[in-house]
Amino acid sequence: MIIPIILSGGAGTRLWPLSWGDHPKQFLPLVSERTMIQETLLRLKGLQIGSPIISCGEGHRFMVAQQIGEVSETKPTILLEPMAKNTAPAIAAACCAAMKQDKDAVVVVLPSDHVIADVEAFQNAVKAAAVNAEKGYLVTFGIVPTFPATGYGYVKAAGTESDGAYTLEKFVEKPCLEKAQEYLASGEYAWNSGMFVFKASTFIEELKIHNPEMAKLSIEAFEKATEDTDFIRLNKDAFGRIKGDSIDYAVMEKTSKGRVVKLNAGWDDVGSWSALYDISKKDENQNVIKGDDVITIDTTSSYIRGGKRTVATIGLDDVVIVDSEDALLVAAKGKIQDVKKIAETIKSRQA
């Protein structure tokens, strides 16, 4: 039995104007008819899984309940974070919830906004990771790199493969292009996926060793939580005193129990409109067209997502156009990473 822990606290501002405020990307149907958080849970179908645990913020609780309820065979546990404290405290509290289901629970920790094309390969990787987790290891998935990416962190695997996993030697921050090329050529490095498998109890034990204050307060926040109909509200006072940190910094970079399972399954974190273009099906002009009322003339290599009105283009190449109910984005694809600046500008205006 593997219990899914799905992290759903991100804002997804790099996919503005669709992903914004109360509707971040994990709640949108960007790559299929299902939303991204639904796809996250559905790709575990066929494995023996327990009731899912979802960690999210207060403002997203009803969307989580509705969307997960539509695809889950069991009632989910929905943990409400009083404020954002990064991934480590959220995972720690979720591990406490998992141990209420089963004190020896193996959990799979998944961000709610990734795309994985080869579900069978992913499930096989989860099974291999679970075997290692049962032996007391903390397992991360290293994405087999397909190009020298500078936008991802990396993990270095060492030693020989055993039970489908390698020793986790170290984490590496986002590299420059020259370093990324070296990593790709070596075959020893993989992209840091942000996905994990371990026993909930093992993670809590390692957190107590490497960050005892965070462990204490995360456990306290869960133990003093209050139930509110379908939700569990983590204790605001205890959670608020936590010095937030990522699971990588808080535990994985320090533990001697780290393992890496290499994953080659068409993974993408869909961090931008250009990334969404890359993984989407193109027409004969290398355009990705979404929406029922889009007209293109002499337009190539572009991502165009229409809304309720007609969107028409003439003589454009390599652009991104996204129409929403209250905003329109028009950008050169090569500059699309700057869309986050627009979201930040709007947020500052509203402050």
Quote the CA–CA distance of 17 and 11 in Å, as a whole number.
12
Alpha helices in the chain (DSSP H): 36-42, 61-71, 87-101, 119-134, 177-186, 200-210, 212-223, 236-240, 247, 273-279, 339-350
d(C-alpha 97, C-alpha 9), whole Å: 17
Helix/strand/coil for 27: helix
Distance CA 231, CA 111 (A): 19
- List, in sequence order, every residue forming a beta bridge with 176; answer none if it has no partner: none
| C-alpha dihedral (335, 340, 341, 342), degrees to nearest 10 | 90
Q: The whole model's pTM is what? A: 0.92
Structural domains of the chain, with CATH: 2-268 (3.90.550.10), 273-350 (no CATH)
Strands 106-111 and 2-8: parallel
Instruction: Tell me the pLDDT of the chain (351 aa) as tens digits.
Output: 899 999 998 777 889 998 877 788 999 999 899 999 999 999 999 999 999 999 999 889 999 999 999 999 899 999 999 999 999 999 999 999 999 999 999 999 999 999 999 999 999 999 999 999 999 999 999 999 999 999 899 999 999 999 999 999 999 999 999 999 999 999 999 999 999 999 999 999 999 999 999 999 999 999 999 998 889 999 999 999 999 999 999 999 999 999 999 999 999 988 889 989 999 999 999 999 999 899 999 999 999 999 899 999 999 999 999 999 889 999 999 999 899 889 889 888 876
